[in-house]
Amino acid sequence: MNPFTLKTQSRTDFVNIDPLVAEAVREAGLTDGMVTVFIPHTTAGVTINENADPDVMADLDLVLDRMVPWNGGYSHREGNTAAHVKASMVGSSVQVIVSAGKLQLGTWQSLFFCEFDGPRTRQVWIKGTPTK
Ligand code: ZN
CATH number for the domain that contains residue 9: 2.60.120.460
Is residue 97 over pLDDT 80?
A: yes
Instruction: Please write the tens of the pLDDT for every residue from 49-71.
Output: 999 999 999 999 999 999 999 99
Residue 99 CB burial class (10 angstroms; 0-12, 13-18, ≥19): exposed
Q: How far is the CA of 18 from the centre of ligand 1 (A)?
A: 28
Q: How far is the CA of 97 from the centre of ligand 1 (A)?
A: 33
**Structural domain range at position 76:** 4-130
Q: How far is the CA of 132 from the centre of ligand 1 (A)?
A: 42
pTM of the model: 0.96
Residue 92 CB burial class (10 angstroms; 0-12, 13-18, ≥19): middle
Q: How far is the CA of 23 from the centre of ligand 1 (A)?
A: 32
Q: Look at the chain and report how many structural domains it folds into.
A: 1
DSSP H helical segments within the chain, as ranges?
18-28, 55-67, 81-90
What percent of the chain lies above the pLDDT cut of 70? 99
CA-to-CA dists, residue 63 to 7, 22, 29, 56, 96, angstroms: 24, 29, 39, 10, 25
